[in-house]
Amino acid sequence: MMNFSDFLNEVKSKAGELKTQALKFKNKDFLEAAMAGSALIAMADGHISSEEKQKMIKFIESNDALSVFTTSDVIKAFQDFVAQLEFDKDIGEAKAYLAVGKMKNNEEAARLLIRMIIAIASSDGHFDAHEQVVAGKIAKELALVPAEFGLS
């Protein structure tokens, strides 16, 4: 079994590959699933500061895999999910996991999605326990085994 830092290094070394794969799934459902997952991760500790939002948006804008989408669409989808989570955590989470779950029946898209979400989560140089728990839940929602991605 791969440990998380090995997995993370592998994700970073294959950033270009993520973009190539993302091109296959250039559709609204995939974009929404990616941004729902990103919003869940961003809100993992229960809140998101405007500084964190800006950091996430900067990362999303510069993320190669997400560059297959229009930046304004990506940011709008991210902000919509964050706003729903901030307004009502339970309803926001339900909507976000519903969007993520749409990728469940496409294993290749699901795997790409979890790798992208982990890359986004660790873009600030650390991937804390709250974020790891949420990433594990997202993997389960996608019918994937969290341990495969270094998650518990």
Provide the whole-model pTM: 0.82
> Is 74 within 8 Å of 113 (Cβ atoms)?
no
In this structure, which amino acid lies at residue 135? Answer: A
State how many domains the chain has: 1
Neighbours of 128 (CB within 10 A): 13
In this structure, which amino acid lies at residue 114? Answer: I
Q: Compute the distance between CA of residue 18 and CA of residue 62 in angstroms, rounded to an integer.
A: 13
In this structure, which amino acid lies at residue 4? Answer: F
**Residue-number span of the structural domain to which 13 is assigned:** 4-149
Backbone dihedral angles phi then psi of residue 67, each to the nearest 5 degrees = -70, -10
Which pLDDT tens digit goes with each residue over 105-121? 999 999 989 988 888 77
> Is 136 within 8 Å of 37 (Cβ atoms)?
no
Q: In CATH, what number is assigned to the domain containing residue 32?
A: 1.10.3680
Tokens 């949420």 correspond to: 134
Which pLDDT tens digit goes with each residue over 1-59? 556 666 666 666 665 666 677 667 778 899 999 999 999 998 998 888 787 788 777 87
